[in-house]
Structure 1
């Protein structure tokens, strides 16, 4: 099978034996998944796809890291996240391990030269094509702890953990703020509530502070870890799960689902996760349960809500964001 994405097409043309190598934070591409390689990723959807095919898949937050003959890091749009991955690899994999870093030119891959130089790691350009560039280097101990990337900030009387690559990194998102202003008037006084797409955990901690039994889910492993740290920092209980929308919640139902769902993947708009969130919500709500979500005003969620619930209401609209509520009859 041929590579599908530009970065993988660049790798496919290399005269290199990647057997046993570790792909780090890659996109979905069947060419990657069919070879004799292993995955290291924080994206639960990618992890599940590899696991379903019986391929080795690892999270940086679980278990011992593998010791591969080489590593390919797919440079993310968030440069601070890319720097974290480099620090993590240098801290946990053997010094001298061959490293390749690949990414799209528009995504800032050429900045890698300065990043590697700042870490004292040599680097050279290996190839360029498909508007992508491939660099090569070797891992080494750099004396910097990747955990230093974790920070905290205060919002709504809560202490929030934050990490590069987590939605709303270091600040309270305006859409979430609008959503939180509407929740006290519509949520039950008690019951089980699901925070879908939990990000830094502000909604989960806020719900738990109100005495609601809270479950939080996110596809991003960094968000899952951030929410766990946020709940701990505020001494609040809650269950936090890594999952691709409802994949880790088979058969479970809640009194309410709240969400500020994502709608983009890297630079492309993607309604997929939010569409699944809305379409499948009735299957995860008790009778009379409600879905309350905030979204950019231009997104076509009314049609999805109408199809899934047979009706909905707009609780707030500030022209940038809208808060929707739909109830299971």
Structure 2
């Protein structure tokens, strides 16, 4: 099987036995998914793809075992890369071989500073396809990856956030505008509400505090854990599960309302796929008279998607940067 992504093409040309190695936070790539090794990922979409093929896969808060080595695919978020390194040092035996790979314009060379700060020696193994591959060995470090979690106050709530979560450590302006709109609807008590792309769980906690029966989903395991911690920090109840939009939800489950600040980036690339599924499949997930309310950057082409799925929509707020849309099921 030929590698599809530049980082995997670089790895594929290595004279190295990756059998039973741990692939940490990799992209979707058929070369990886049809080869050897085990997956460690926070992306429930990637996890589902591996598991569907019977391949071993685990999330960041699962037990990882003791693989003979690991390859970390350096993420766009420098802070998230630091967390992965700390977690690997904490979870795997000292001396375990580690390779770090990434695109040059994605900041992989910053990994050198992190490794040096952790006291881990490192050398460049190879470079090609505008990517670089480093190698080192894991060692004991004094920093606890738990320190990456942040708590902050916003919208009258205590929020818990992680570097792998959208809007880490702050309230996103689009979400702030969405909350202002939701505040105008006083009858959330008893409503069955689905929060899609829940992030740190601010919408879920806010809705639960007003009596809604909340279920939240996010493709990121970091977001799922953050939302659970946010609900607990505010003494609120809600169910949070890992899901690629609606994929993990039973088909017969419907909601009185769906709320979302949907993502439109996949790493550095624009990706409308999740938002298109959120909108296109929403009518089948709503009760009669139920509504979808979402916030989005004003330039995004969501009106056409809403029109196609619902036959109409309204704009509830527009501050020139963001718009809040609502569409209802007849």
TM-score higher than 0.5 here?
A: yes
Residues 76-130 of structure 1: CA deviation (Å, up to 9, x unaligned): 0100000000000000011111000000000111111111111010100000000
Matched residue, 2:221: 221
Equivalent positions of 1:1-12 (< 5 A) are: 1-12=1-12
Matched residue, 1:235: 235
Q: Are the counterparts in 2 of residues 260 and 295 from structure 1 also a CA contact under 8 Å?
A: yes
Distance 2:277 2:21 in 1: 34
Distance 1:182 1:156 in 2: 13
Distance 2:72 2:34 in 1: 18
1:167 partner SS: coil
Matched residue, 1:70: 69
Report deviation, 1:248: 1.2
Report deviation, 1:185: 2.7
Q: Are the counterparts in 2 of residues 95 and 138 from structure 1 also a CA contact under 8 Å?
A: yes
Instruction: Structure 2: state its 5+ residue gaps.
Output: none
Residues 186-234 of structure 1: CA deviation (Å, up to 9, x unaligned): 4743310001000011000000000000001000110000000000000
2:304 partner SS: helix
Q: Are the counterparts in 2 of residues 160 and 200 from structure 1 also a CA contact under 8 Å?
A: yes
Matched residue, 1:269: 270
Q: Are the counterparts in 2 of residues 292 and 326 from structure 1 also a CA contact under 8 Å?
A: yes
Matched residue, 1:325: 326
Report deviation, 1:325: 0.2
Matched residue, 1:83: 82
2:94 partner SS: coil
Residues 140-161 of structure 1: CA deviation (Å, up to 9, x unaligned): 1112110010110000110000
Matched residue, 1:294: 295
RMSD over equivalenced CA pairs, Å: 0.8
Distance 1:184 1:169 in 2: 23
2:227 partner SS: helix
Equivalent positions of 1:158-173 (< 5 A) are: 158-173=157-172
Matched residue, 1:212: 212
2:54 partner SS: coil
2:111 partner SS: helix
Residues 252-275 of structure 1: CA deviation (Å, up to 9, x unaligned): 100000000000011100000010
- Alignment of 1:285 with 2:286, yes or no, is yes
The two structures have a TM-score, normalised by structure 2, of: 0.98
Matched residue, 2:260: 259
2:281 partner SS: helix
The two structures have a TM-score, normalised by structure 1, of: 0.98
Residues 59-87 of structure 1: CA deviation (Å, up to 9, x unaligned): 1113x212111100000010000000000
Instruction: Structure 1: state its 5+ residue gaps.
Output: none
180-189 vs 209-218, greater mean Cα deviation: 180-189
2:152 partner SS: strand
Distance 1:41 1:66 in 2: 14
Matched residue, 1:178: 177
2:170 partner SS: coil
Distance 1:174 1:111 in 2: 29
Runs of 4+ in 1 over 4 A off after TM superposition: none
Distance 2:51 2:314 in 1: 40
Q: Are the counterparts in 2 of residues 187 and 256 from structure 1 also a CA contact under 8 Å?
A: no
Distance 1:128 1:61 in 2: 31
Distance 2:156 2:79 in 1: 27
Distance 2:183 2:87 in 1: 41
Distance 2:320 2:143 in 1: 44
243-252 vs 195-204, greater mean Cα deviation: 243-252
Q: How many residues align?
A: 328
Distance 1:66 1:312 in 2: 50
